[in-house]
């Protein structure tokens, strides 16, 4: 059984995920480069550590929730040239390693192979469900790894999430995740342009959203994440697009999906267009806003 957890990366997602582990009564030691993020978790009852390696030293499970592949590779593998140890060098031999960041499958496989070489179990377990799902403990985890690692991960993932899937070997979780996010970006753009066309033609976006939600255009963005301000409470669009899932991170995921499409020679015209639209949005200075802010690209600024 798991008693000691190390949680590294306490951002929009990692913060509430770690909080749920604390609330469930586990001993959680946290680390983030931002002292403020650590302080929030310490207030809730977590222990702090001076470094990621210190946090992980006595852990039964290490969970990481970082921005991108380079952060994950750096943290797990360290840097031999700079004489820096990675998490793989310091954890106990029974420790399970779980990375829930959304990163390229190749980085996940690289870390997975390095872990295996040291006799450690590593699983990629990217999530879906957004910051609301993280706070509610209702995330979907999409795992890639051995049957043994998947079985070991159930207990701790079950505290932070509802649906837990085993997509395949290490890296498979990441592939499933970027397929999902490519579709999500297309739905977010399509929902935004539809709502704005309704507004332009005199419709109330709340009424139009209610109609489309239960009609054939219904989708997750209408149900849980409406991009038009003040249609729904407690979503980023009604909080000036603060918090949530940053445009910069969606741009990263759409880059990953286009790289994967290129490698497998898949035809992904909608994903390619969505990537262009999001890159353009980021280049206009909106990279730190929530990804539903793509809605603003369709607004009529002349009015």
In the complex, least distance from residue 92 CB atom to ligand NAD, rounded to whole angstroms: 20
d(CA 36, CA 298): 36
Neighbour-count burial for 5-22, b at 16+ CB within 10 Å, e otherwise: bbbbbbbbbbbbbbbbbb
List phi, psi (to 5°) of 98.
-125, 120
Q: Where are the alpha helices (DSSP H) in 78-171?
A: 87-90, 105-117, 130-136, 147-160
Task: Name which position in 3, 25, 34, 154 contacts ligand NAD (CB under 6 A).
Answer: 34
In the complex, least distance from residue 24 CB atom to ligand NAD, rounded to whole angstroms: 20
Identify the bridge partners of residue 142 per DSSP, sorted by sequence position: 165
d(CA 300, CA 181): 27
Quick one: 15 or 205, whose CB is closer to ligand NAD? 15
Quick one: 7 or 150, whose CB is closer to ligand NAD? 7
In the complex, least distance from residue 127 CB atom to ligand NAD, rounded to whole angstroms: 5
For the CA atoms of the chain, what is the radius of gyration?
Answer: 20
Q: Are 7 and 14 in contact (CB under 8 A)?
A: yes
Binding mask 44-73 for ligand NAD (x = CB under 6 A): --------x------------xxx---x--
In the complex, least distance from residue 214 CB atom to ligand NAD, rounded to whole angstroms: 25
Quick one: 208 or 246, whose CB is closer to ligand NAD? 246
Neighbour-count burial for 80-112, b at 16+ CB within 10 Å, e otherwise: eeeeeebbbebbeeebbbbbbbbbbbbbbbbbb
Task: Please indicate whether residue 252 is annotated as part of the active site.
Answer: no
The answer to whether residue 86 forms part of the interface with ligand NAD (CB under 6 A) is no
Tell me which stretch binds ligand NAD (CB under 6 A): 28-36, 157-165, 196-204, 211-219.
28-36
Residues 209-248 that bind ligand NAD (CB under 6 A): 244-245
SS3 label, residue 255:
helix
Is residue 149 exposed (0-12), middle (13-18) or buried (19+ Cβ within 10 Å)? buried
Task: Name which position in 6, 18, 22, 37 contacts ligand NAD (CB under 6 A).
Answer: 37
The answer to whether residue 137 forms part of the interface with ligand NAD (CB under 6 A) is no
Quick one: 95 or 247, whose CB is closer to ligand NAD? 247
Q: How many residues bind ligand NAD (CB under 6 A)?
A: 27
Catalytic residue among 118, 148, 177, 213: 177
Task: Name which position in 28, 149, 176, 249 contacts ligand NAD (CB under 6 A).
Answer: 249
Quick one: 10 or 115, whose CB is closer to ligand NAD? 10
| 3-state per-residue secondary structure call for 173-242 | HHHHHHHHHHHHHHHHHHHHHHHHHHHHCCCCHHHHHHHHHCCCCCCHHHHHCCCCCCCCCCCHHHHCCC
**Residue nearest ligand NAD, Cβ-based:** 11
Quick one: 129 or 205, whose CB is closer to ligand NAD? 129
Contact residues toward ligand NAD (CB under 6 A) are 8-14, 31-34, 37, 52, 65-67, 71, 75, 101-102, 127, 130-131, 244-245, 249, 253
């Amino acid at each position: 059984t798991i008693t000691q957890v190390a949680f590294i990366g306490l951002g929009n997602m990692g913060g509430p995920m770690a909080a749920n582990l604390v609330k469930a009564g586990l001993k959680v030691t946290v680390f983030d480069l931002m002292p403020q993020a650590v302080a929030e978790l310490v207030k809730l009852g977590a222990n702090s550590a001076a470094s990621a390696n210190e946090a992980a030293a006595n852990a039964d499970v290490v969970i990481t929730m970082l921005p991108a592949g380079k952060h994950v590779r750096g943290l797990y593998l360290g840097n031999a040239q700079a004489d820096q140890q990675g998490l793989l060098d310091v954890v106990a031999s029974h420790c399970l390693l779980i990375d829930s960041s959304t990163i390229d499958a190749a980085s996940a496989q690289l870390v997975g192979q390095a872990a295996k070489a040291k006799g450690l179990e590593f699983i990629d377990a990217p999530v879906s469900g957004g910051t609301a799902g993280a706070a509610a403990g209702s995330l979907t985890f999409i795992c890639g790894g051995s049957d043994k690692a998947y079985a070991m991960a159930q207990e701790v993932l079950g505290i932070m999430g509802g649906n837990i899937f085993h997509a395949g070997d290490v890296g498979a979780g990441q592939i499933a995740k970027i397929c999902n996010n490519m579709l999500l970006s297309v739905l977010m753009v399509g929902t935004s342009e539809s709502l704005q066309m309704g507004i332009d033609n005199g419709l109330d976006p709340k009424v139009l959203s209610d109609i489309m939600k239960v009609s054939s255009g219904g989708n997750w963005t209408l149900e849980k994440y409406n991009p038009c301000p003040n249609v729904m409470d407690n979503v980023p669009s009604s909080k000036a697009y603060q918090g949530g899932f940053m445009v910069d991170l969606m741009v990263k995921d759409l880059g990953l999906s286009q790289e994967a499409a290129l490698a497998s020679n898949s035809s992904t015209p909608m994903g390619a267009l969505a990537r262009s639209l999001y890159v353009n949005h980021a280049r206009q200075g909106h990279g730190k806003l929530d990804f539903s802010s793509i809605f603003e690209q369709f607004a009529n600024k002349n009015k």
